[in-house]
C-alpha cells in the first residue's frame, strides 16, 4: 500500500507536496516511520540497505470510515541477509532497543516529519 518510501505517496506541487490519490496523511507518516525503523535495525545489525532486508507488517483499523485510522506496525526483531553467492538467506537477530535508542529513534522520526516538504493537511 505504501511502496518503498514516502515519495511514492505524494506528488510535487508548486507549494510543496500533495497526498496522491487520496492516500491518508497518516500513511505518509507511517512510511517515514517504517523507513526510519528499518534503517535503525539494519544499522544495529551492522549491515546496509544494500546488504540486508527487514520485515514489517502494517495493520490498519478503521473507526467510522477512512478518516479515523489507527495504524499499527509490527517489525521483525532482526534482518535478513543473503550469502555471498545468494544461494541462502539467513536471519540475524537484533537485540531489543534500549531506552536511549528508542528515544533517539523517536526524535529521528519527529525530525523527518518536521523536515518533510509541506504536504496538504499532513499536520492538521
Averaged over 12-23, what is the pLDDT?
Answer: 51
**Confidence band, pLDDT 50/70/90 cuts, at residue 54:** very high
Q: What is the pLDDT of residues 95-123, one digit of tens each?
A: 999 999 999 999 999 898 888 766 555 44
Look up cell 551492522; give the residue: 46
Does the pLDDT value for residue 53 go beyond 80? yes
- Using the predicted structure, report yes or no on whether residue 58 has a pLDDT greater than 90: no
Given phi > 0 = left and psi -120 to 50 = alpha, else beta, which region is 16?
left
Domain ranges of the chain: 6-115
What's the distance, Cα to Cα, between the start and end of the chain in Å? 22
- The whole-angstrom distance between residue 6's C-alpha and the CA centroid of its chain comes to 8
Confidence of residue 18 (pLDDT cuts 50, 70, 90): low
CA distances from 49 to 38, 64, 80, 100 (A): 9, 38, 11, 23
**For 38-59, what is the mean pLDDT?**
92
Q: pLDDT-based confidence at 83, cuts 50/70/90?
A: confident
Residue 107 cell numbers, joined? 526524535
Residue partners of 32: CB distance under 8 A and separation at least 6: 6, 109, 112, 113, 116
Distance from C-alpha of 34 to C-alpha of 37, rounded to nearest angstrom: 5
Question: What's the confidence (pLDDT) of residue 101?
Answer: 95
Rounded CA-CA distance 120/79 in Å is 34
By percentage, how much of the chain surpasses pLDDT 70?
Answer: 68
Amino acid at each position: 500500500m505504501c511502496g518503498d518510501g514516502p515519495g511514492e505517496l505524494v506528488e510535487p506541487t508548486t507549494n510543496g507536496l500533495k497526498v496522491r490519490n487520496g492516500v491518508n496523511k497518516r500513511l505518509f507518516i507511517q512510511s517515514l516511520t517504517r523507513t526510519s525503523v528499518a534503517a535503525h535495525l539494519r544499522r544495529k545489525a551492522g549491515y546496509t540497505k544494500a546488504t540486508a532486508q527487514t520485515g514489517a507488517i502494517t495493520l490498519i483499523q478503521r473507526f467510522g470510515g477512512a478518516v479515523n485510522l489507527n495504524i499499527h506496525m509490527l517489525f521483525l526483531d532482526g534482518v535478513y541477509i543473503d550469502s555471498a553467492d545468494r544461494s541462502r538467506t539467513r536471519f540475524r537477530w537484533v537485540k531489543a532497543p534500549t531506552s536511549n535508542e528508542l528515544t533517539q529513534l523517536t526524535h529521528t522520526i519527529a525530525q523527518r516529519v518536521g523536515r518533510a516538504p509541506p504536504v496538504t493537511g499532513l499536520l492538521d
